[in-house]
Chain A
């Protein structure tokens, strides 16, 4: 039984995953900043610290009221906000030395893909990771995920969150923009920037925010922002799929919850005869289960860290982590 602890940004989560890759418990609490404001790292970390013990306790207790001692403790070592990462790492270190169980560092982005692959039964997909921290198109070659395309500036999650902030829509921004977009129908011309397999969203954000300040129609702007931003990514995904010739397309990360994005990436996969594996919405956002799932796989392939070496890594690229457990059986 592997306990996973997530605390890279706004969410503190703890979860148990058993030896057969089944999620036994998954308990999470998310910090929500006030409308119009972003996540303040210190305020987020204070929230995480205040909920940590209750969440771990709940995650370790099963239905009959008894509690489970995990065999392995996995924690999100990065990438993420330093103050937040340190909360989860501290809890994990304490549990590991108290229970005398091995400690496993997990890459948060790799974990998004691992849980998505576990649940949707993907083997060796073209992976599309879209969240507040990542917007990348990846394929697994050798022992690592290789970045095939990515954002050159802000992520898709940043784009939606920052626009939502400008528009005074509540967090999470992606959901708010998505709701508004269903009421929009006029396509406003916005910058469309695809560079090969890469995308760049900052120009799009500026143009959309400027248009909003000039009293643009909010529903139409949300609609156009989604259509433009998602089309850019879909085009990069399609290009990558044709070149890498994978037969599966995985969609993971918080923005994978967007119905319109699921529809578009699904359509790209279908067009090229690839199966489509979108992560279930309840596991798309940051959660303990992704860390437990990835930690279990990492532990099985021999990854552990001593307490004294269990650093957090706020900046840590996907292609710097060995993931020998892919392709999956």
Chain B
């Protein structure tokens, strides 16, 4: 797919890619273009952008097949490190979580947990799971987006990173109580991934948190 001639309007500037909004036939589409990073050596930069574009597109497709709520891939333009996918209407969880009451927030986290469970049982880890990468649809359903850091793994270690990152993003960016939010997440996760995977993933997530520097052994 050649995206060079596709007209689109800027939507969002992420950390590693520019998102813009376009139209192909009846669909509203999001064009995700991995832009060159000035700080990075050009050879390293090209390698990272190329590898991640291919990996992201294939993982999103697999996640869809596994029944998770993710965007659908419309096309991939490897030469321009660009993915075209369907647009999702809704609000970023980061924007709406703090305005919610506790029970509504718990309901959202539970549904996020269910989605993570689906991904993990399909052998996919997200790799950058923060509240910025969850879109809440007008009906309240949660969609997981941005699979740029994702990869295939069934290791508790990699699954644990997902829950660890989600927890840290709640602690650092939100006023909601993080322990009740994580409890809700794990309940949802358990529903789709099962008790066994849920237990091992959560145990690993706590271990990863403790791996940071200077944790005293208590």
Interface residues of A (CB under 8 A from B): 79, 133-136, 139, 141, 146-148, 150-153, 155, 187, 189, 192, 194-198, 227-228, 231, 234-235, 238-239, 241-244, 263-265, 267-268, 271-272, 313, 315-318
| Nearest CB on B from A37, distance (A) | 23
CB of B41 within 8 A of CB of A231, answer yes
- With A242-B14, A243-B132 as contacts: A192 and B48 at CB distance below 8 Å: yes
Whole-angstrom CA separation of A192 from B13 in the bound complex: 23
CB of A315 within 8 A of CB of B216, answer yes
Of B14, B41, B128, B213, the contact of A133 (CB 8 Å cutoff): B213
Considering the complex, give the chain A residue whose CB is closest to the CB of B166: A196
5 contacts between A and B (CB under 8 A): A79-B214, A196-B127, A241-B15, A316-B216, A317-B216
Of B47, B128, B212, B216, the contact of A147 (CB 8 Å cutoff): B212
CB of A227 within 8 A of CB of B44, answer yes
Of B15, B48, B208, B214, the contact of A238 (CB 8 Å cutoff): B15
Of B39, B132, B213, the contact of A150 (CB 8 Å cutoff): B213
CB of A151 within 8 A of CB of B127, answer no
Q: Is B172 an interface residue (CB 8 A)?
A: yes
Of B39, B213, B217, the contact of A263 (CB 8 Å cutoff): B39
Considering the complex, give the chain B residue whose CB is closest to the CB of A79: B214
CB of A136 within 8 A of CB of B213, answer yes
Whole-angstrom CA separation of A264 from B41 in the bound complex: 10
CB of B132 within 8 A of CB of A316, answer no
Which residues of chain A come closer than 8 Å to B200, judged between CB atoms? none
Whole-angstrom CA separation of A133 from B212 in the bound complex: 11
CB of B172 within 8 A of CB of A146, answer yes
CB of A268 within 8 A of CB of B130, answer no
Of B39, B94, B211, the contact of A234 (CB 8 Å cutoff): B39
- Could you list 18 further interchain pairs (A-B, Cβ under 8 angstroms) beyond the known A133-B213, A155-B213, A244-B173? A135-B213, A139-B172, A151-B213, A152-B208, A194-B149, A196-B128, A197-B165, A231-B40, A231-B41, A234-B37, A234-B40, A242-B14, A264-B40, A271-B38, A313-B216, A315-B214, A315-B216, A316-B214
Whole-angstrom CA separation of A156 from B30 in the bound complex: 37
CB of A231 within 8 A of CB of B44, answer yes
Interface residues of B (CB under 8 A from A): 13-16, 37-41, 43-44, 47-48, 94, 127-130, 132, 149, 161, 164-165, 168-169, 171-173, 208, 211-217
Which residues of chain B come closer than 8 Å to A242, judged between CB atoms? 13-15, 132
Whole-angstrom CA separation of A239 from B168 in the bound complex: 14
Q: How many A-B residue pairs have CB under 8 A?
A: 103
CB of B16 within 8 A of CB of A243, answer no
Considering the complex, give the chain B residue whose CB is closest to the CB of A261: B39
Which residues of chain A come closer than 8 Å to B173, judged between CB atoms? 141, 243-244
The A interface is mostly helix, strand or loop, or mixed, namely mixed
The 9 closest A-B pairs by CB, nearest first: A264-B39, A267-B39, A196-B165, A239-B15, A242-B15, A315-B216, A146-B172, A227-B41, A315-B214
Whole-angstrom CA separation of A298 from B70 in the bound complex: 48
Whole-angstrom CA separation of A227 from B47 in the bound complex: 13
Which residues of chain A come closer than 8 Å to B217, judged between CB atoms? 315
Which residues of chain B come closer than 8 Å to A235, judged between CB atoms? 15-16, 37
Which residues of chain B come closer than 8 Å to A187, judged between CB atoms? 41, 43-44
Considering the complex, give the chain B residue whose CB is closest to the CB of A134: B213
Of A189, A196, A241, A272, the contact of B161 (CB 8 Å cutoff): A196
| Nearest CB on A from B187, distance (A) | 23
CB of B38 within 8 A of CB of A239, answer no
| Nearest CB on B from A251, distance (A) | 13
| Nearest CB on B from A143, distance (A) | 14
Which residues of chain B come closer than 8 Å to A155, judged between CB atoms? 213
Of B44, B129, B172, B211, the contact of A196 (CB 8 Å cutoff): B129
Which residues of chain A come closer than 8 Å to B164, judged between CB atoms? 196
CB of A244 within 8 A of CB of B172, answer yes
- With A187-B44, A264-B39 as contacts: A317 and B127 at CB distance below 8 Å: no
CB of B41 within 8 A of CB of A152, answer no
| Nearest CB on B from A260, distance (A) | 10
Of A135, A194, A267, A313, the contact of B38 (CB 8 Å cutoff): A267
Which residues of chain A come closer than 8 Å to B37, judged between CB atoms? 234-235, 238
Considering the complex, give the chain B residue whose CB is closest to the CB of A192: B48
| Nearest CB on B from A225, distance (A) | 12
Whole-angstrom CA separation of A259 from B39 in the bound complex: 12
Which residues of chain B come closer than 8 Å to A133, judged between CB atoms? 213-214
| Nearest CB on B from A152, distance (A) | 6
- With A195-B127, A234-B40 as contacts: A141 and B172 at CB distance below 8 Å: yes
Whole-angstrom CA separation of A271 from B17 in the bound complex: 12
| Nearest CB on B from A253, distance (A) | 12
CB of B214 within 8 A of CB of A243, answer no
